[in-house]
Amino acid sequence: MRNAALMLGLIGGLMGLLVGFASYGYTEAVERYGEVEGLFEQVANVEMIRVVSFLSPLLAIAGAGMAKVRALWGGGLLLLAALGMFVGYGVNVFTLFPMGFCAIAGLMALAAGQPDEPKAHF
C-alpha cells in the first residue's frame, strides 16, 4: 500500500503542478495585461490561488516521497495537499484527478498501519 501511495501521490502532485502553473500564470497575466470583459476576469482571491498553486503540489510530492518510510507524515501531507486544492480551486475537470489521486494516496498511506519495515506509525 505504501508503494501505491507513493505512485498515486507523485502522479497527483505532478498533475497538480500543471494546474498550479496554469492558475498562477492566469492570475499574473490578468494582473499584467488587464481584464477582458466576459473573457478574462481576475479571480476573487488572487493571493490564495497563488499560495495554493505553490504549496499543494509541493506538499503532494513531499508526502509521496515520505509515504514509504513515514506513512503517517506522508499521508497527512497528501491529505493536506488535496484539501488545499479543494479549497483553492474547487472541483472541476482540471482539478478532479489531482485531488482524487492525492486523497486516495493519503488514505492508503494512513491505512498502511503494519509496514514491511519494523517502523510503524501506530
pLDDT digits (tens, 9 = 90+) for 16-48: 999 999 999 999 999 999 888 888 888 889 999
Q: Residue ranges of the domains in the chain? A: 2-111
Buried b (16+ CB within 10 A) or exposed e, 29-41: ebeeeeeeeeeee
- Predicted confidence (pLDDT) at residue 78 exceeds the cutoff of 70: yes
CB 27 within 8 Å of CB 50: yes
pLDDT digits (tens, 9 = 90+) for 63-72: 999 998 888 9
Q: Which residues pair with 36 in a beta bridge?
A: 40
Does the reported pTM lie above 0.75?
yes
What pLDDT is attached to residue 121? 61
Reported in sequence order, the residue ranges of 1-122 that DSSP labels E, i.e. its strands, are: none
